[in-house]
Amino acid sequence: MEVTALHRYPVKSLGGTPETTLEIEPWGPAGDRRWAVVDEQGATLTARTMPAMLLVRAELTPDGGVGLTAPSGRRLVVPRPEQGPRVAVAFRNLDHAFGAGDEAHRFLSTALGRPVRLVWQPSPVERAISERNGGLPGEALSLADAGPLLLTSERSLAQLGQWAGDASLAMGRFRPNVVVDGRTPFEEEGWSSVRIGPVAFRLQQACDRCVMTMIDPETLAKGKEPLRALARHRKRDGKTWFGVRLVPLGRGSIAIGDAVAGVPAGA
């Protein structure tokens, strides 16, 4: 197996960027999901309820800031707000972040059509992976929902496309960080660990999927797939499953074309 695509999502639920390499840190790809959009009370906003967020593109800048591009083409570069101010937020296992400043708030509020604020997580070490999501003591988390890194397989997507009757089903609906070609559909769920290039990862858990996958990230058109097909073929414990969450066991750089070696559970 090998890596066929890499993606970074600097701002939770905004559009991301394809990459040729990713630097891996203990809490996931460097710069991935360290920013988020909240409302005026600090509640997290995502594309589950605000699909327009997917049309605002975010890219990491060389100094760790974020470049935002609105659907209109307007662009704003936001530096890391390393001196605050502190903003109350409502993330699981995190009650504060740093506000990005009035210019960033206005830019996103205009792009999304409602008052919002952009916040930055100064230290992932302050947020632990939840034990109920398979976290172990000392494992840190960005502003991602549940795990540091999401891996999906082209072979699994091809099988899902057959079930859904749509060979053009886009991997972008699942927002993975790492895509591999795979050997058999859904084999990734049977790993206990995996090595990608020089970096080893622990398999944290399979990834349960939500209504966000039913939204085309390019057009915002919404349908019943792929959740309908997943519910027919990939439902257990009342949830549907696609992809796996991984926890890095070290640091290093991974790249498209890197070899991927999964270790089956129990091996």
pLDDT tens digits for 79-117? 999 988 999 999 989 999 999 999 999 999 999 999 999
On whether the CB atoms of residues 47 and 112 are closer than 8 A, the answer is no
Q: Which residue has the tokens 């960027």?
A: 17
Q: Domain locations in the chain?
A: 3-12+20-25+130-264, 29-126
CA angle 39, 48, 61 (to 5 degrees): 65
Q: What is the pTM of this model?
A: 0.96
Fold type of domain 3-12+20-25+130-264:
M1 Pyruvate Kinase; Domain 3 (2.40.33)
Predicted local distance difference test score (pLDDT) of residue 193? 98
Residue 225 carries which side chain, given as an amino acid letter? E
Residue 266: its pLDDT value, please? 82
Residue 77 confidence (pLDDT): 98
**Nearest partner of 104 among 50, 64, 68, 58, judged by Cα:** 68
